[in-house]
Amino acid sequence: MGKKYILSLDQGTTSSRAILFNKNGEIVDAAQREFTQYFPKPGWVEHNAQEIWSSILAVIAEVLTKTNVSANEIASIGITNQRETAVVWDRETGRPVYNAIVWQSRQTADICEELIEKGYNDLFRNKTGLLIDAYFSGTKVKWILDHVEGAREKANQGKLLFGTIDTWLIWKLSGGKEHVTDYTNASRTLMYNIYDLAWDDELLEILDIPKSMLPDVRSSSEVYAETVDYHFFGEAVPIAGVAGDQHAALFGQACYEKGMAKNTYGTGCFMLMNTGEKAVPSENGLLTTIAWGIDGKVEYALEGSIFVAGSAIQWLRDGLRMIDDAPASEGYASKVESTDGVYVVPAFVGLGTPYWDSDARGAIFGLTRGTSKEHFVRATLESLAYQTKDVLKAMEADSGIELKKLRVDGGAVKNNFLMNFQSDILNVAVERPVINETTALGAAYLAGLAVGFWKDREEISKQWKVEESYEPTMDEQQRNSLYGGWKRAVEATMGFKPNKNREQ
């Protein structure tokens, strides 16, 4: 049988998915399985790594059964994953010593504060392109070694392994043979030097993490391992592409040239701009990260992280019960001409780029007796666009590149009101592609390129097609006035710190 398909495994924060792509980069079919979210204490978020693994096996079986595709028709497997989420497991038994600590989890905030107080922020930033923050994997690994009984001793004896989710899945799929990751995932750990392309001994010493725990770092498109027959219907299929979810989306959006950018509207928003073969240090609160490593070269990106985007719409639905489902938000927002001066700043877990204020909490401004549900819903949707503008302005300042258009993907891009407003407030064209599953597609492309399923990036670029392009129609004065109001609302939000002692 010919190799007709690429299987993409998209291991996300709330669900695992298996998506089958054909030669034209089209979705043949998909399967999805949600898994449990654990919140042991306020601000903590954990997953059971074994349950994630079970969910991956389930979706692989389901998508192949549904489509009647045989395992030997799959040319290769691509993996894309929720980044920064950390798993530590026993090398001999293969069992995790603790739950996976999720990227959103703030349980290592104290460790981060201590490192910042010791004056390490610039050192970490200059080597990793990141800030010291509970978001990244390094302090999560340290937390597990510090808090799980016997873990540090075992780690020092070389008996424990660390991995981001991609590493855990390759380890499991290969039957425990390969302990590897790719440049993109390594670049989010706070332990990897993105300039030297190596695990950094000095940072490991500060975090007190033994190097023996760390995976080999490879390019984002090469054969890392083959599936062990008992996990893949008797077939040894190459696992040949890996990238963290946001990097995979940048690749799937065919942003291959310097200055091209995409924004993914998921639980949070993540905006990445390709800066080519040069890492651009940020002066404006962005992260410098590896876009991908392919064809013997490493390319870099600037990234802005918005912590709350789609989850603000879920909050309207579940917390405030203002809407029955997320798509209904568009109808309510379109019923009013404006928010009537209302601003929602959804800083539920603090503010990300460019503010990096983890103590701020959500706030609402400009309420009057005339404020209606429609105004409220519209203001919440608009907050996604304002936060994106904050990030874009920082990107343009750092890179010196003026963005001409923004490629978008993720759940919220189906909301035409939001996309129109986004284009208006940015004053650039916003392009939504035909295939919105750009994260899974990016992983498929990386895996396909490694085994010759697709020839090169040029062939892939031709497959990228626009479904809808939104053009700005708002006048400059209105744009500046609305955005000025947002900036004042953010400033006021940052002035109110409910969790800080009153005396401070």
What DSSP assignment string belongs to 294-345?
A: ETTEEEEEEEEEES-SHHHHHIIIIIS---SSTTHHHHHHHTSSS-TT-EEE
Sequence-distant (6+) residues with CB within 8 A of 108 are 101, 134, 139, 140, 142, 143
Q: How far apart are CA 362 and CA 254, in angstroms?
A: 35
> Pick from 284, 289, 99: which is nearest to 189 by CA?
289
**14 among annotated binding-site residues:** yes
Distance between CA 109 and CA 332 in Å, rounded?
Answer: 38
Nearest alpha carbon to residue 401 among 414, 389, 392: 392
C-alpha distances (whole Å) from 341 to each of 159, 336, 338, 415, 465 are 58, 12, 8, 22, 37
Closest CA to 8 of 23, 25, 21: 21
- Is 13 among the annotated ligand-binding positions? yes
H helix or E strand, kind and range, residue 489: helix 476-495
Look up tokens 């798509």; give the residue: 327
- Token representation of residue 277: 């073969």
Check residue 414 and report its DSSP letter.
G
Burial of 224-238, coded b for 16+ CB within 10 Å and e otherwise, reads bbbbeeebbeeeebb
Q: Is 282 annotated as a binding residue?
A: no
Binding residue per annotation — 411? yes
Q: Is 353 annotated as a binding residue?
A: no
123 Cβ partners below 8 Å, 6+ apart? 202, 203, 206
80 annotated as belonging to a binding site for a ligand: no
Element (H, E) at 444: helix 438-450
- The answer to whether the annotation marks 50 as part of a ligand binding site is no
Phi-psi region of 140 (alpha: psi -120 to 50; beta: other; left: phi over 0): alpha
Q: Is 314 annotated as a binding residue?
A: yes
Cβ neighbours of residue 303 under 8 Å, at least 6 residues apart?
246, 270, 271, 272, 273, 286, 287, 288, 289, 353
Q: Which residues of 436-467 are buried (b: 16+ CB within 10 A; e: fewer)?
A: bbbbbbbbbbbbbbbbebbeebeebeebbeee
Residue 36 assigned as binding residue: no
Angle at 197 between CA 195 and CA 203, to 5 degrees: 80
DSSP class of 200:
-
Mapped onto helix, strand or coil, the DSSP state of residue 223 is strand
293 carries a ligand binding annotation: no
Find all residues with CB under 8 Å of 67, minimum gap 6, and list them: 20, 28, 29
Q: Radius of gyration (Cα) for the chain, nearest Å?
A: 22
Where is the binding site for ADP, in residues? 13, 17, 267, 310, 411, 415
Q: Which residues are annotated as a binding site for glycerol?
A: 83-84, 135, 245-246
- Numbered residues of the known binding site for sn-glycerol 3-phosphate: 13, 83-84, 135, 245
Q: What residue numbers does the annotated binding site for ATP cover?
A: 13-15, 267, 310, 314, 411
**Residue ranges of the binding site:** 13-15, 17, 83-84, 135, 245-246, 267, 310, 314, 411, 415
